[in-house]
Amino acid sequence: MGTAVPAVFLKAAAWAESQPLSDPAARAVQQVLFQLTGPPRIGVCTLDAAVDISIPGAVMVRTTWPAVGSGADVVLLVHPGELSGRVRSRMRFGPQLFVHIEDKDKLSNYTVEISELIKVRERLLIGELQALSRLFPQLTPGILVSRQPVAEIPRVAVIGPDMQAVALLRTQLAPHVELSDSAGVDVVVAVAGPTGFLLVDAPILQDAWHRVGRLVVCSPLPVGVCPGAVPAGSDIVETVLKLARMPIKEQFPQVPSGRWDQVVARWERKDDLEFQKFRLHNDREGVRRRWNIAFPGEPRIATQVLIMAAFAILVTTLLRLDSLPLVLLMVFIQVLNARRSKVTKWWNQAQKMLQLDITSRTAGDKLGPMKWLRQQRLDSEK
């Protein structure tokens, strides 16, 4: 076909072939290689739903935005008009090939070049190998190739109340970025007026942040305004270019209250069951390794108990030597009970320490992680 096979495919295939047939890592690599051969896998969707359509010569994959883990080589995004900066950020970071199509009627005529498909599958293979290497460390040497970021000139909008300062900054950024005033930019740079940013500027800044997801500010912001904004720093050009290469931090949906409590209760119950297993085997060192917190020191019998036991044995030896076996048995039982009491006390103290407020550095009568997390959730909903 005139297109060279990427080196990572050859390395991965050769490595899998050299491993024993029963090796799970080799089988996993072979399965990935099998999935990345054959006709192109294409998914079609809008920003709201999957689109069911057939494209000749392709294997259709049902895909919904943002197409994470969709199993597609190419994702056709049907959307009339310009895309927002958040959407373009997702498309840029792949690893699939994203194509913006404004007219749904043109979908059936879409074709992907073989050279482009090979590049996409090379990125997908590298990503799959990197994921597998976390399960199989032996995959790392000789196979993995670090993925190079796609170089693209970011689109930047400069806003601010001082038009002269805005024009000056646009002149500074122009050689390095594509300046635009549309909503579909990758980064927004906000320039303050002579008195800095004021609370009256907050709505505009918040709107820019929510629309684009990347905001660089040239002056400090009022408290509570756009906590995700990035200061310009000493080199604003470098800051803008670096931020444009980073994925947008999305705001995750709130977890329903009932589900939150269920998860925390399950977590606490799991910890308790694991702790009881350690306690059943009296494995104090295992508990220390598992939770890595400062548990009480090793349980020791009080010196007073040992002195009394020695005194009883001495008196019996001097006065009633024939009773010595019985006294020794009683002393042994007393020391054994004292030791058992100390060990029980150690385990009870250790269990209480696991139930302390997880934000506390020292022991105290805190509410415990479950109640603390619930309180955090209630505070966040106010």
Per-residue pLDDT at 359? 43
Per-residue pLDDT at 365? 42
* End residue of a domain, out of 194, 223, 244: 244
Could you tell me the residue range of the domain that residue 160 belongs to?
155-244
CB-based contacts of 130, cutoff 8 Å, min separation 6: 144, 147
265 plus 360 within the same structural domain: yes
227 plus 262 within the same structural domain: no
* End residue of a domain, out of 73, 105, 139: 139
Task: Find tokens 């308790």 and name the residue.
Answer: 272
Q: Which two tokens stand for residue 171?
A: 């002149």
* End residue of a domain, out of 244, 265, 290: 244
298 plus 338 within the same structural domain: yes
272 plus 320 within the same structural domain: yes
Per-residue pLDDT at 189? 92
pLDDT tens per residue, the chain (382 residues)?
Answer: 456 777 888 888 888 888 887 788 888 888 888 888 888 899 999 988 888 888 888 888 888 888 877 688 999 999 988 887 778 878 877 788 899 988 888 887 888 888 888 888 888 888 888 778 777 776 655 565 554 444 568 888 899 888 888 899 988 888 888 888 876 788 899 998 888 888 888 888 888 888 788 889 888 888 777 877 888 887 888 888 888 877 766 544 455 556 666 766 777 788 788 888 888 888 888 887 776 666 677 766 656 655 666 666 666 666 666 666 766 777 677 777 777 888 888 888 887 777 654 444 344 444 455 555 555 555 555 5
Task: Look up residue 200 and give its DSSP letter.
Answer: G
Measured in degrees and rounded to the nearest 5, phi and psi for residue 78 equal -90, 115
213 plus 292 within the same structural domain: no
Alpha carbon dihedral 236, 239, 243, 244, in 10-degree steps, equals: 60
Per-residue pLDDT at 302? 59
**Closest to 28 in 3D by CA, of 122, 126, 136, 120:** 136
Q: Is residue 1 part of a domain?
A: no
55 plus 112 within the same structural domain: yes
pTM of the predicted protein model: 0.47
204 plus 276 within the same structural domain: no
Residues 191 and 162 sit within 8 Å (Cβ to Cβ): yes
240 plus 262 within the same structural domain: no
82 plus 42 within the same structural domain: yes
**What is the SS3 assignment for 150-165?**
CCCCCEEEEECCCHHH
| AA identity, residue 95 | P
**What is the SS3 assignment for 53-121?**
CCCCCCEECCCCCCCCCCCCCEEEEECCCCCCHHHHHHHHHCCCEEEEECCHHHHHHCCCCHHHHHHHH
Q: Is residue 149 part of a domain?
A: no
What is the number of structural domains in the chain?
A: 3
Q: Is residue 230 part of a domain?
A: yes
Q: Mind giving me the DSSP string for 315-347?
A: HHHHH-GGGHHHHHHHHHHHHHHHHHHHHHHHH
132 plus 17 within the same structural domain: yes
305 plus 357 within the same structural domain: yes
12 plus 130 within the same structural domain: yes
